[in-house]
Amino acid sequence: MYNIKYHNQDLSSFSFLITGGAGFIGSNIVEYLLKYNAGKVRVLDNLSTGKMENIEPFLSNPAFEFVEADIRDFSACEQALENIDFVSHQAALGSVPRSVKDPITTNEVNVSGFLNMLVAARNANVKQFVYAASSSTYGDSKKLPKVEEQIGKPLSPYAVTKYVNELYADVFAKVYNFNSIGLRYFNVFGPKQDPYGAYAAVIPLFFKAALNNTPPTINGDGNQTRDFTFIENAVQANIKALLHPHQQNKAEVINIAVGENTTLNNLWNEICKIVGTELNANHGPDRAGDIRDSLADISKAQQLIGYDPAFNLSTALVPTFNWYKTQNFSNLNV
């Protein structure tokens, strides 16, 4: 992966902090930066959802540094930001169902932790602050495609926390002249995404089910749509946003997706074809807090940072499947 270069600058003189860098998206950003010889790549992660196995290949790299700490600890945030130029803030408690079950912890990590990072990054005078926003912010808005300036009311505690991040970022731009770019991810998937646990995402769950020849359970009728976004597209967005020229008093938010959507039923059928199995999915009740339909307008990201997704769902499912095969997930229980 990452044979396409998404930057023009020499990265060897720059230092990067990736919070949540042992997680799915964060560790892929780390992989890209080290592949292209970044001067320093520091990861801050408490390993609550991130995994050491995601960053073990980097431990012998002299440009890599791992700090096991929690973004809810302000002093840890300050220490992690020493001598850092750019911040990619990926640390968060994801999952709508998790937030429905435990809104307090979700708020502590996603709001208080985010604010800690904002304050510490402002104090450290970093060159750019990029953070993981979410398409969940569109809430109950039924307008398609989703345009950044038109959102609805949040449908889950998780969505509330991600919207609060955007509000804080906007205030910090206006009050402190602290600039940032929020990336509203739309259903990111790909290598290193965990198919285990109560809050696993749909694509790894589908691959795990197909590899084990066991029907998955789809929440609802399966005709809900998603704009699935391959991990390399998300990494591209982070790199381009991090190196985007500084803008005064600006807190931008942009959609990171492909601009194409598919139903969960179609997704399951495509995965069955790739794996070589024929199974009918089971259907359960609708899941509380879920958005029904999702499709992104990516024109703002294209114009602002030159975002140009190189992979769509059809081109990215096979490399994702190939990665899951190497992990021997088919030998483990669903």
Specify whether 32 is catalytic: no
Which two three-digit tokens encode residue 294? 């999702």
Half-sphere exposure of 320 (CA within 13 A, CB side): 30
CA distance 80 to 334: 38
CA distance 37 to 115: 30
Query: Among residues 334, 201, 202, 216, which one has the least CA distance to residue 280?
Result: 216
Pick the catalytic residue: 158, 163, 168, 185?
Answer: 158
Query: Among residues 160, 174, 180, 162, which one has the least CA distance to residue 252?
Result: 180
CB contact at 8 A, 312 and 229: no
CA distance 132 to 285: 29
Q: What SS3 state is found at 267?
A: helix
CA distance 319 to 29: 17
CA distance 331 to 96: 28
Catalytic residues: 158
